[in-house]
Amino acid sequence: MQTTHFKKMLLASAIAMGLAAAPASQAEVKIGLITTLSGGGAALGQDQRDGFMLAVEQNGGKLGGQDVSVIIEDDQLKPEQGVQIARKLVNNDKVDFVTGIIFSNVMMAARTPILDSKTFLIGSNAGPSPMSGAECSPYFFSTSWNNDQLHEGGGQIATDQGYKKMYIMAPNYQAGKDALAGFKRFYKGEVVDEVYTQIGQMDYSVEIAQLQQANPDAVYVFYPGGMGVNFVKQYRQAGLLGKVPLISASTVDGSTLPALQDIALGVITHAPYAPNLDNAQNKQFVEAFEKKYNRSPSLYAAQSYDAANLIASAIKKLDGNLQDKEAVRKALEAADFDSVRGNFKYNTNHFPITDWYRVDVVKGKDGKAELSATGVVFKDHKDAYFEQCKM
């Protein structure tokens, strides 16, 4: 378990730069950030953490004009660990907000102690379908998406490309099942096989041999983190990439592309974010992120940066007074901040209504592989479950 207080980090940074530390204000907002910082999902969690902390740093250790203390915890991609951390944050640390959470199995477990305590949970990645439908909560907000949404555009892209037979694969957990359900919702052709593999699996040679025998027009996969790196490498080694088109979401992204580079060239992805989105907030975010971390931001970083700015907008609107839960909820619902994704507003279930893009892996001007949004797949897209949410 890792706990980091941002004010200490900021002070150390200030000393290193020869700067004086700013005086603390009379009020401090406590924020717990739960993410995955060890194991196969660590790269995703690192980006989630770094995106959030960049926003805090850009505001001098404050959000919405108030000093903040950020407690960062590693869930180790274990639901039981997530629950323990959640209980600690709300019962011992008395945080005002919890944010983060990469994986849906952790989210489904950790949400209970957080939401039962009427602490606001600002999810910046995992979006299990039950939480956007019948199990929605006035205390939960997402700056990412419902799980299905992330993959619905993949189905639309495959249909638009004219692929008649698709082979689809994902890990066997909540997000994997949501992924393939989302893909099938917008795909109009035949799914020749639907394969679920173990979460954390790293060898896909057997599955790749099986999909070759199925002879599909194209393949759709969802393999986040290290799973995605290994799958794409093995898919390329089997001679399939460039021969059998590969469409994905959260498989080749900003967190995995550094490990894949040219191996991933030609992969088609679907995402609500890409570093080349043409809006002022995104341009300054990408520049600042690359300068600080020496890498391009992923959607995990972007969504977490948005989460920090959403929280900041509510704090500012309420002048730091967070005691009135109903007032906080309304301030968050207003979403009065500039999103790196461009247009951003909340649906009735507290999930975003935003645009979604086809994002291709291409060679950039510097000759390195990069993610580039090439067109809008869905405009102002709503998830499939919001009408089931009764708040």
Span 299-349, pLDDT tens digits: 999 999 999 999 999 999 999 999 999 999 999 999 999 999 999 999 999
As a 3-state breakdown, the chain gives helix, strand, coil percent values, each rounded to 5, of: 40, 20, 35
Per the CB < 8 A criterion, the answer to whether 73 and 89 are in contact is yes
When pLDDT is averaged across residues 192-203 and rounded to a whole number, the result is 96
Neighbours of 94 (CB within 10 A): 11
pLDDT of res. 45: 96
Using alpha carbons, select from 381, 159, 126 the residue that is nearest to residue 268: 159
Amino acid at 320: G
Report which secondary-structure segment, H or E, holds 112. helix 104-116
Residue with tokens 């897209």, as numbered in its chain: 381
Architecture of domain 149-271+356-388: 3-Layer(aba) Sandwich (3.40)
Per the CB < 8 A criterion, the answer to whether 318 and 331 are in contact is yes
Q: What is the pTM of this model?
A: 0.89
Residue with tokens 């199995």, as numbered in its chain: 105
Span 153-184, pLDDT tens digits: 999 999 999 999 999 999 999 999 999 999 99
Please give the share of the chain, as a percent, with pLDDT higher than 70: 93
In the chain, domain spans: 6-145+277-346, 149-271+356-388
- 96: DSSP letter: S
Same fold for the pair 6-145+277-346 and 149-271+356-388:
yes
Residue with tokens 């960049």, as numbered in its chain: 54
**Alpha helices per DSSP H over 173-298:** 174-186, 205-214, 226-237, 257-260, 280-293
Please give the share of the chain, as a percent, with pLDDT higher than 90: 90
Token pair of 135, please? 């199990």
Span 103-153, pLDDT tens digits: 999 999 999 999 999 999 999 999 999 999 999 999 999 999 999 999 999
> Is pLDDT larger for residue 16 or for residue 232?
232
Residue 6 pLDDT level (bands cut at 50, 70, 90): very low
Using alpha carbons, select from 85, 111, 102 the residue that is nearest to residue 40: 102
Q: 191 Cβ partners below 8 Å, 6+ apart?
A: 166, 167, 168, 184
Class of domain 6-145+277-346: alpha beta
When pLDDT is averaged across residues 358-362 and rounded to a whole number, the result is 97
Per the CB < 8 A criterion, the answer to whether 124 and 100 are in contact is yes
When pLDDT is averaged across residues 213-220 and rounded to a whole number, the result is 98
What does the alpha-carbon distance between residue 280 and residue 131 come to, in Å, rounded to a whole number?
32
Q: What are phi and psi of 358, to 5 degrees?
A: -80, 125
pLDDT of res. 154: 97
Cα end-to-end distance, the chain, whole Å = 35
Span 257-302, pLDDT tens digits: 999 999 999 999 999 999 999 999 999 999 999 999 999 999 999 9
pLDDT of res. 111: 98
Three-point CA angle 183, 253, 190, nearest 5°? 20
pLDDT of res. 24: 37
Check whether 18 has a pLDDT greater than 70. Answer: no
pLDDT of res. 16: 37
